[in-house]
Structure 1
Amino acid sequence: MLEIHNTYRKMLEMASRPGFAITEISSVDSSKLKVSWTPYPSANTYVLDLRIANNTRNLPFIIVTPSFITTKTFQRLRAGVLYNVTVKAFRYFTILASTWRTGRTGAGLGGGGNCSCNADTIAAVTWSPPHRPLPVIGERADPASASRRAAGTVTAAVVLPPSNIKITVLDKTAIRINWNPVANAFQYEVTVHKNSGKNSDRINPVQNVKALYSCVADSVVLSWNVSPGATSYRAVARSIAGVILYCTSSAITCQITGLDCSESFSVTVMAQTDTCNSSESLPVIFETQPCTPQNFRVNRDCHSNTMWASWKARRGAFLYRVTALASDGTTDKCNTRGTSCVFTFFKCGLEYKLKVEAISRDRCKSNASDPIAIRTAPCIPEGVKASTNCWSHILTISWELALGAQSYEAEVVGTNGSKYNCSSSTTSCVISELQCGVGFIVFVIAYDNECDSGRSYYAIGETAPCTPSNVHTQLDCDTNGANVIWDKYDGAINYMVSASGSDGTQMMCASVHTNCWLPDLKCGQVYTATVIASNYMCNSSRSSPVNFETAPCIPQNVDAHLDCATDTASVSWISSPGAVSYTASVTGTTELSHSCNTQQTYCEIRDLPCNQDYTVSVRALSENCESNQTTVRVMISDLGK
């Protein structure tokens, strides 16, 4: 037995930790030992083990205390007995540190003794002298004994039983025993017998205590082995926070309900009879389900559609699960050991309801937090179109409905640097009074109360080209061709020129430049020319008309007569379209030329000698051109007739 005790002591020494120690063991009276120790960091339970030194037959006294208690008193101990006291610091099921010391209860001379088990109303007490001499530590106060104490010697002697023993019944479960003191006695041994003459046996502590915790019922079912002689059992559950709950049963199981969340409970069971209680069983630790996480918050990043959630940690939580339920029915989950979670790549334009729950190692779940609803940024508008009213310079912008959008804004940037915008709560908006001949790039942005979608894919639009201006013509009198010219403007891709003659004829030409050639125009006509610019989608309005006149037509039906009596030639012709005046010329064989100018269709040329051949020519004139001449050869014989 001594070898087992020494092995136990070595194990305690190995478990000892620096800084964790029993600071005091004092005897309050002959049946009590007060034990104090230093607190140990992170411990949530202390287990005190008290047993008689060098004695393996008696069961130990076990006391379990929460971490905030560092002083405890053992009661109902034997007087004057040396005890080994061990204090162990626990973190749930793990021993963090252990320390031990010895302490002795007081001698209790003339005092009463306490019985761990009592009769109902009567007790028979006998004093049995020891079979061997009892060691006497205290001695008479005489010089010889004093010298012996100084020399460190101990005297052993046989002592006789005390006399004048008196028993006083205090109540149903306690008696007081008094006797006369015995000289030189260090301790007394009191034995209590039942009136049947047999010794009353101590009730053994309950063994094999088990705790089955139910998350759903929020209760724990306790079970243990039968303790012989017990008529009932009392289970005590103590939480770290100081909550104490009880259940009593005559069977070997009982249930404790109404447990708080996020608590660690230490459970002990005590066997009971009508008159006695056993010492407490070894503690069993269990944890309740975690409490609902508090301070749950959710934030979002508009541009990446990322959300992150945070909360305050709860005792007993092994991990946390955040669930995000989208308005389209999809669900995302995030599991973490920490107190925050990040969701990335959420869909745009949806409302998400997020909630968090704590989960213990035993997979017990807390109640979920109240959900927090938050939206992702609106989706980017699609199907953007831009169309122009060619005549009013109005740009109409349209797009498809964007999920999550409450309003829209269209941004228009012109090729000339101009900027416009319009807002709408529907899927279209209009921008008016735009400049002519300008191309536009159009973007649409969707908004909710806090976020924007970002720019849509761009669309292209342009207003009608500006009306050509400074239109003028250059006429080629020889060919009756006209070159129509105008100034250049942005926005036009090609131009159409139309010319209407005074006789109703139409001439047209197209050009990608700022001029266009109208060939083979009719002689003697007044033409009105206009220019239209086009960008293939819209045409400009017609330019201001410009008039030009082609060269006069060649005079027709020229007739000449020579009067030899007067040497005068009479020349006539038919009126030519476009002619303002005419010039008639007569040239003889001597190349002597005579002419006349007139606005009529005839004229006379004098001083022409007879007997010659003459050539008569008539040319029509306008303000800018002259026609080709009409030539008639006149023979002398003809003139003489």
Structure 2
Amino acid sequence: HFRVEDIHYSNHVKISSGIKTVFLYRTTLFTKSLEPCPPTNVSAEVLCESDEMKISWQEASGAESFLVTVSGSDGLVKIYSTNQTLLRASLPCGQDFNVTVRGQGSMCNGIPSSPTFFKTAPCIPRGLATDAECGFDVGSVSWQPTDGAETYIAVATGLDGHTHRCISNTASCTWSDLHCGEEYSVVVRAKSNNCTSLPSNSSIIHMGMILTNENKKFAQVKETLSDHCFFPDPCAPQNLSATVNCDMKVVSLSWDASSGAKMYTVYAEAGNKSVSLNTNMTTASFTGFTLSSNLSLYVFIPGPCKPIGVSASQDCLTSIAVVTWQPSNGSDVYTATMQTDTGVCQTAGLSCSLNNLTCGSLYTVHVVAMGDSCSSVPSWPLKFNSIPCPPQNVSTQVDCSSNNLTVSWEAIGDADHFLVSLAAENGESELCNTTNTVCFSSNATCGKTFTVQVTSVREHCRSVHSQTQSIQSAPCQPQGIMGSVDCVTNSAWISWLDAPGADSYTVSGVAVGRNDYRANCTTFTNMTCEMKDLACGVLYNFSVLAKNSECESQPSAPISLETGTSVRAVFSHFS
């Protein structure tokens, strides 16, 4: 595309023939390109520990502004308009993107730059679940896989500030050097290239009791009987009593029955000799021990072990969460309980479905294993978020002069970000991805009606979309203005082409140099209008304005028409 900058006339030749004279000219046209050059040195800088990035480029000759197009691997496309050479944009975490920049001139757009590829910072890990095996100083944490993560860094921090660090390329980490009896706060960060995410919400590991001299032996006995798990009150037997029959060299032990207990494990130890037995009675006898030695006797109720490996997955469409866990020794039935009034799920399997979850809520679930005699202690609590709630009170506005659209809404509950869809009748669409509750769309196409829907996104789930709203951009500027004058009636007929988005038209006529001579005409259905009662012998400028319920268009390019002069007839009487 080129614009004529100058015209030089030279070497004219005069040719005369009869009453006609013709001048022939040779012309030289000086032109200038209207198309801006493509921007160069386009670069993208990811701002780690945030959802922002910076895109920059060098000035392009002929460009008055720039269009920046960002395309994501998940189909997201965002277009920005700016007159600067630096743009800050908020983009979803953990995605691959490419960006191109093209210059905008006064009449044409340039070709796009070569694409620049980048990856946003990894997403924050969520859904942490912790577990501990105190007898082995082992603690572990697991979490939901995170978009964009190549590795994870988990840090367990004790109450005194000492830390244990674990690096993993899977969604779990295990420490084997945690201190029994201590409490640890665990956070996880996702890492990709040179970018590390913000830390996750913290989760706690309780490492259980400290093995003092008084209880160390008790713990060692329980570890010896490691085929089962054993629990203190209310399951532990009470009021142990021992008697010795010296003649028979028999040691007898009795205790009170425990409510619901069907089986007891009795453990006896003296020196290097130890014996254990199971009984459904509340008495037990041992022989073969030297009576002069110190004899230690313990009674346990074997019960189910605490469920481990508890995890939750959610169906984003049905709001049903499925909780799963690993099997526990000694368990017959499991109960999964939510920390709300949603209800309790009981099953002999290894999963439970929890229904009718409220949107936008944080839930805590723990699982208990139940055996013949006792229930286990609860599993470590697992926290997860239900699906986000749809946004409410969506409102739309249009800036009539710039055709910029603004969509705002009210967030119900927490959301990671929001997706705003603006779709026109002809299939044009734009997607705005933002962490705010307002979205701006610049330079909307004139004469379009857009349907607007807003969706909340949290983790991997999207809400149902908001109630659909409609918004009209400003009508397009009327084109193809034509006119004619009726010299008898001094009326002017003005016509034009249909302007997309117009509900009505107003034609204005202003006399050149005579502002007091004005005429107006409005029509709702036609593309013609009659301007009546114009002044005689006056040059008028006529323009057409399109209107809809929201905006007025820019006035059309004016046309000029001159009305006729008045004619007075003089009659003479001849006799």
**Which TM-score applies when normalising by structure 1?**
0.47
| Matching of residue 396 in structure 1 with residue 493 in structure 2 | yes
- Give the counterpart letter for 2:337 in structure 1: V
CA distance in 2, matches of 1:542, 1:124: 135
Q: Which of 514, 531, 538 is matched with 1:438 structurally?
A: 538
CA contact (8 A) 1:287 1:316 kept: no
What is residue 279 of structure 1 aligned with on the other side? 377
SS in 2 for 1:298: strand
Q: Could you give the per-residue CA deviations for residues 433-462 of structure 1, whole angstroms, max 9, x where no partner exists?
A: 222221111011112233211211111111
Q: Give the 3 Å change call, closer, same or farther, for CA 3–369 of structure 1 in structure 2.
A: closer
- Give the counterpart letter for 2:315 in structure 1: S
CA distance in 2, matches of 1:127, 1:305: 92
Q: CA deviation at 1:368?
A: 0.2
What is residue 312 of structure 2 aligned with on the other side? 211
- Give the counterpart letter for 2:369 in structure 1: A
| Matching of residue 126 in structure 1 with residue 259 in structure 2 | no
What is residue 335 of structure 1 aligned with on the other side? 433
Q: CA deviation at 1:4?
A: 8.8
Count of aligned residue pairs for this structure pair: 339
CA distance in 1, matches of 2:448, 2:476: 9
Q: Which of 13, 19, 30 is matched with 2:160 structurally?
A: 13
Q: Give the 3 Å change call, closer, same or farther, for CA 2–368 of structure 1 in structure 2.
A: closer
What is residue 367 of structure 1 aligned with on the other side? 464
What is residue 266 of structure 1 aligned with on the other side? 364
Q: CA deviation at 1:49?
A: 6.6
CA contact (8 A) 1:410 1:422 kept: yes
| Matching of residue 420 in structure 1 with residue 567 in structure 2 | no
What is residue 409 of structure 1 aligned with on the other side? 506
Q: CA deviation at 1:45?
A: 7.8
- Give the counterpart letter for 1:207 in structure 2: I
Q: CA deviation at 1:172?
A: 4.6
Q: Which of 298, 310, 333 is matched with 1:232 structurally?
A: 333
Q: CA deviation at 1:225?
A: 1.6
Q: Could you give the per-residue CA deviations for residues 494-551 of structure 1, whole angstroms, max 9, x where no partner exists?
A: xxxxxxxxxxxxxxxxxxxxxxxxxxxxxxxxxxxxxxxxxxxxxxx4775899xxxx
Q: CA deviation at 1:194?
A: 4.0
- Spell out the pairing of 1:65-214 with structure 2 (5 A cutoff): 114-117=233-236, 125-127=240-242, 172=260, 194-195=280-281, 197=284, 199-214=300-315
- Give the counterpart letter for 1:388 in structure 2: V
CA distance in 2, matches of 1:403, 1:424: 15
CA contact (8 A) 1:416 1:438 kept: no
Q: Could you give the per-residue CA deviations for residues 242-272 of structure 1, whole angstroms, max 9, x where no partner exists?
A: 4453211112222222212112222211110
What is residue 322 of structure 1 aligned with on the other side? 420
CA contact (8 A) 1:310 1:339 kept: yes
Q: Which of 446, 455, 462 is matched with 2:562 structurally?
A: 462
| Matching of residue 256 in structure 1 with residue 414 in structure 2 | no
Q: CA deviation at 1:380?
A: 1.5
Q: Could you give the per-residue CA deviations for residues 336-372 of structure 1, whole angstroms, max 9, x where no partner exists?
A: 121110112212222111010011222x110000001
CA distance in 1, matches of 2:560, 2:311: 78
Q: Give the 3 Å change call, closer, same or farther, for CA 376–250 of structure 1 in structure 2.
A: same
- Give the counterpart letter for 2:520 in structure 1: N
Q: Give the 3 Å change call, closer, same or farther, for CA 423–205 of structure 1 in structure 2.
A: same
Q: CA deviation at 1:288?
A: 1.6
CA distance in 2, matches of 1:12, 1:252: 35
CA contact (8 A) 1:193 1:199 kept: no
Q: Give the 3 Å change call, closer, same or farther, for CA 306–460 of structure 1 in structure 2.
A: same
| Matching of residue 449 in structure 1 with residue 568 in structure 2 | no
Q: Give the 3 Å change call, closer, same or farther, for CA 429–3 of structure 1 in structure 2.
A: closer
Higher relative contact order (CA 8 A, sep 6+): 2
- Give the counterpart letter for 2:546 in structure 1: A
Q: Could you give the per-residue CA deviations for residues 22-58 of structure 1, whole angstroms, max 9, x where no partner exists?
A: xxxxxxxxxxxxxxxxxxxx98987777535535775
CA distance in 1, matches of 2:157, 2:396: 55
Q: Which of 336, 343, 367 is matched with 1:245 structurally?
A: 343
| Matching of residue 51 in structure 1 with residue 150 in structure 2 | no
Q: CA deviation at 1:325?
A: 1.6
What is residue 308 of structure 1 aligned with on the other side? 406
SS in 2 for 1:14: coil
SS in 1 for 2:464: coil
Q: Give the 3 Å change call, closer, same or farther, for CA 279–171 of structure 1 in structure 2.
A: closer
CA distance in 1, matches of 2:236, 2:318: 39
- Give the counterpart letter for 1:126 in structure 2: S
SS in 1 for 2:158: helix
CA contact (8 A) 1:379 1:446 kept: yes
Q: CA deviation at 1:124?
A: 8.8
CA distance in 2, matches of 1:128, 1:440: 126
- Give the counterpart letter for 1:201 in structure 2: P
What is residue 60 of structure 2 aligned with on the other side? none
- Spell out the pairing of 1:505-524 with structure 2 (5 A cutoff): none
SS in 1 for 2:444: coil
What is residue 381 of structure 1 aligned with on the other side? 478
Hey, which of these two has a bigger chunk of strand by percent?
Answer: 2
CA distance in 1, matches of 2:311, 2:351: 9
CA distance in 1, matches of 2:418, 2:243: 67
What is residue 348 of structure 1 aligned with on the other side? 446
- Between Structure 1 and Structure 2, whose CA radius of gyration is higher? 1
Q: Could you give the per-residue CA deviations for residues 275-294 of structure 1, whole angstroms, max 9, x where no partner exists?
A: 20000111222222111112
CA distance in 2, matches of 1:230, 1:166: 25
SS in 1 for 2:161: helix
CA distance in 2, matches of 1:10, 1:307: 48
Instruction: Report the identity percentage.
Output: 26
CA distance in 2, matches of 1:115, 1:372: 60
CA contact (8 A) 2:316 2:387 kept: yes
CA distance in 1, matches of 2:448, 2:428: 10
SS in 2 for 1:280: coil
CA distance in 1, matches of 2:433, 2:448: 22
What is residue 99 of structure 2 aligned with on the other side? none
**Which TM-score applies when normalising by structure 2?**
0.52
- Give the counterpart letter for 2:423 in structure 1: L
Q: CA deviation at 1:312?
A: 2.2
What is residue 52 of structure 2 aligned with on the other side? none
- Give the counterpart letter for 2:304 in structure 1: I
SS in 2 for 1:51: coil
SS in 2 for 1:395: strand
- Give the counterpart letter for 1:11 in structure 2: G
CA distance in 2, matches of 1:15, 1:458: 79
Q: Give the 3 Å change call, closer, same or farther, for CA 262–334 of structure 1 in structure 2.
A: same
SS in 1 for 2:159: helix
SS in 2 for 1:348: coil
What is residue 184 of structure 1 aligned with on the other side? none
CA contact (8 A) 1:323 1:334 kept: yes
Structure 1: gaps spanning 5 or more residues = 17-41, 60-75, 79-113, 130-164, 175-191, 467-540, 548-641
SS in 2 for 1:307: strand
- Give the counterpart letter for 2:378 in structure 1: E
SS in 2 for 1:266: strand
CA RMSD of aligned residues (A): 4.1
Q: Could you give the per-residue CA deviations for residues 201-234 of structure 1, whole angstroms, max 9, x where no partner exists?
A: 2432111112222212321222222111111111
